[in-house]
Structure 1
Amino acid sequence: MESKFSFRSSMVNRRPSKDGLSLTGFTYIEMMITIVIISLCFVPLMSMFTESVAKVSYSGDKLTALNLAREEMEKVKNLNLTESQIVGMGNVVTPPENKPPLPRNKANWRIKRILKKDSDPLLVRIEVFREGDEASESIVTLSTLIEDLEWTDVD
């Protein structure tokens, strides 16, 4: 039984050139076209990768700032101070400007507690900044209202 397909016919015909070299290899132009096609596939993938790394870093910073702001907000609520005592403390920076910033997740942080003194109830705003950023914009801002409650006996 003879096969219609022969291995010899499936091979590329090797034609020797005038100088005796085979003409079946890839030419320089073919290699350049292959490299261009491959690079057109990988450049978008690399840009997606760098963009995703930047977004992961940003979301990590945002989460760290949010946790620091929540922690500071809990301190304000749990100090058990009256409105007048909190106003007496004024705006607070944690840690103070003359101390080194808080190191968290490969970054340095400062937390500002800002009071709006003419508001009733007292508005307390917590802003978290990343130390060393040129932009002075806070990464996270939380606000709460503080009110002195008087408990009286109800007859």
Structure 2
Amino acid sequence: MIVIVCGVSGTGKSTIGKMLADALALPFYDADDFHPEANVQKMQSGKPLNDEDRQPWLLDLATQLANWERKEGAVLACSALKAAYRETLAAKCASPIEWIILHGSKALLTERLGSRKDHFFEPKLLESQLNTLELPDDVSVVDIQPPPEDIVQSIVARLTNS
């Protein structure tokens, strides 16, 4: 099983993804770890990535996902803000991906980003991500207001009952 935990920065993708991976006994990966250095530098300088910046990264992740699918599966934390990005990510997998999109208010996200330490994402880029986000009708959109344990429990229940 491949599960991708998506959303803008500050939604808790890595926290929820790690906890979900533990609950499902799957390895966890963070898409941020696969960004080329040029992307990291661009974001650190406060400039949003464009589709051209993202494309090689997404293609690399699609290959990784197919490899992980052939092994034991995985949980990946990845922004995957646009439908086109999600299509690219899924392109090389044989089975459907389980998409979980974490979503919350701008105020809560801003608060969370303000308290982060040692992360390359520049908080002023949140507006750009929110403007880019395309919420689909056909996947689980999960509110980030509850405690992480409750969020993970509800996701596991949904995944194991489908």
| TM-score of the two chains, using structure 2 as the length reference | 0.24
| Greater RCO, CA 8 A, separation 6+ | 2
Tell which structure's C-alpha radius of gyration is larger. Answer: 1
Task: Please identify which structure carries the higher strand content.
Answer: 1
